[in-house]
Amino acid sequence: MHNRFNLTGKTAIVTGAGKGIGRALAVGLAEAGAQVAVVARTASDLDTLVAEIEQKGGKALPIAADLTEQGASEHIVEETLRELGGLHILINNAGMNIRTKALEVTEEEWDRVTDLDLKGTFFMAQAAGKVMCEQRYGRIVNIASVGGLVALRTGVAYGASKGGVIHMTKVLALEWSKFNVTVNAIAPWYFRTALTEKLLNDPAYYNEIISRTPAERVGELEDLIGPAIFLSSDAAAYVSGQTLAVDGGMSIYGF
């Protein structure tokens, strides 16, 4: 029986791949058979990732780029096509958060978050989408957040950006599905990464998170790999415009 989750022969781009979620998804896609262009602002963050993928028999192309810079998305796509010979999957993961109360958010903070999380995500999708629509095949997975589905404290710019990503996902799916290009999103809750480690090491903060999570645990990075492979694969050929919450049930929590 054909394994519809096998990504052999496919080429993927993973942005924000230097650390955390992006790094885990890059390794996961490579293990599923894809060759992967891994993108991060800091080139040194990609060295060990490429070595890990290659040690496991995969192929990876490091690309240092800042998605907030004009022309960066086109450069990433062009480099991927030139060096890897194709483009079938985009994991649009690059993002950031600045935890500031709404009354204290500055214009500079707002712009930093939205320029990467929303604007950068769109133009990366657009650059990849041009190739995918022309070849009539593609899988785009935008990494959103449960912060785009429900309100979270001290994250107004982040929540607005991720809510925008979720709605943008629907619009792109509406326009591009006729070209056999699916566009979906994953909305994670708290996962153990270098960025969340300090927060989760605070017992009071951790206990509040767990109290609002039916699964009674935070996510491990491996919990995101299966959903990402599914949405990147032929198994999800008839799934588009959807947001999959990978959150231990947090977004359905009720009192």
Both tokens assigned to 77: 């796509």
Both tokens assigned to 36: 């992967």
| Beta-bridge mates of residue 182 | 139
Judging by beta carbons within 10 Å of its beta carbon (0-12, 13-18, 19+), is residue 229 exposed, middle or buried? buried
Catalytic residues: 158
For residues 202, 92, 90 and 133, what is the CA-based torsion angle, rounded to 10 degrees?
150
Rounded Cα gap, residues 216 and 117, in angstroms: 28
Rounded Cα gap, residues 147 and 187, in angstroms: 8
Whole-angstrom CA distances from 211 to 102, 177, 189, 217, 254 are 24, 39, 13, 9, 11
Rounded Cα gap, residues 157 and 163, in angstroms: 10
Q: How many residues does the chain have?
A: 255
